[in-house]
Structure 1
Amino acid sequence: MTDDQRWTAASARDLLDRTEAETASALDVPTGPLLAVWGAALTGGHLAIWWATREQDPYTGPPAWALAVLGGALTLALVVTVVTVGRAARGVHGLSSRAGLLYSLTWVLSFGAAQVIMVALARDGIPDSTFGKLSALVPLLLVATIYLASAAPLGAPALGVVGGLLAATTATAAWFDPSLMALVIALGCAISFGAGVAVARRPQ
């Protein structure tokens, strides 16, 4: 190997190392605090839904105040996530910056699409019990999917733990009636995000 070839190989390796470091920096978000925010939002929101519907027979759906609690909590958690990721990616350019932007857009677009779907289903007049289940299960499954998909690229095993437990919670909750399902989701979220925060705090 000539000196030029050695120089080229070393330069390429150095460039690769810098790119990987920039990508990690772009997505270096405080996992523990974000998980705590989402855990509080999902747990508190679904407890409000359960409390508001626990005595309904037949089920007619949560009142506006309970939906506002859940929607407001999820919106706040989403804003905190986008702002946090945006700050982490500030000052980083190129592929790394785009990765951070796409991660933020994943949350915004997926939840936006879910809301549009729920509005369309409501307009079609689906049964209250079915709408109640879907309105709770769809956002939860979105969070689980995004966390599972993000765990490896972000090097954050805590996201994988939360995502896996949330997926199990979603599948389990679907078998209960809408009111009790909200309580199951609240408990599952508390356990899932609590486990994720514990993993995130462990020394790496």
Structure 2
Amino acid sequence: MAALAVAALLAGLWFGVLRPAVRSEAKAAVKDPVQAAASQAAEAKQKASGAEAAAAAAQKAAGMSPAPAAPATPSARATPGAGPAPGPGATLFSHRLTAAPKAGQDGTDTYTVPDGRTLRLADLVLENPQGDSGTVTIAVDDKPLLSPALENFREQDFHWASAILVSGKQRVTLTVSCQQVGHPATGANPATCSAAALLSGSLE
């Protein structure tokens, strides 16, 4: 019984006296650093606001306008196949060139830019659906831009960050040099090569 009485007394001392004192000391120990951090944050914010105001005043005194805010990124996705809108006075452009020469011969197709306009060529897709052999050349006024081998691709696309400019009355020419006609997996064997180029961009 004496042991139980001592245990009860110790428990009463812990819950009634020691525990509240420990909790009070812990709260006091945490309170001061938290208040100090909040005070430092408020002081830093006030200094930052003062610096922004000083910078704006300096720009105004120098006759400079504040830097514009960066445009918000559109949340909606672009429609597939619809690229960026052309500049003022420009229209979206696409044109397909095709050629079907016999083996050992060349075939050409040409697009001439209208007088007074400029073609901004941004994308080019080459097609070799039959698997022909030979070369396909894209040129501007007889100056070759590229000339890949037909047997290296069935479809190949090119996209230029800096568009190729073609002035009015200049010609974009597709030339197909057919070495061997391909044999598609299905259908009758063709008598000629068949290649094409899709030009895309804008007319300004």
Smaller-chain TM-score bracket = under 0.3
Higher strand fraction (1 or 2): 2
> What TM-score results when the alignment is normalised by the length of structure 1?
0.27
> What TM-score results when the alignment is normalised by the length of structure 2?
0.27
Larger radius of gyration: 2
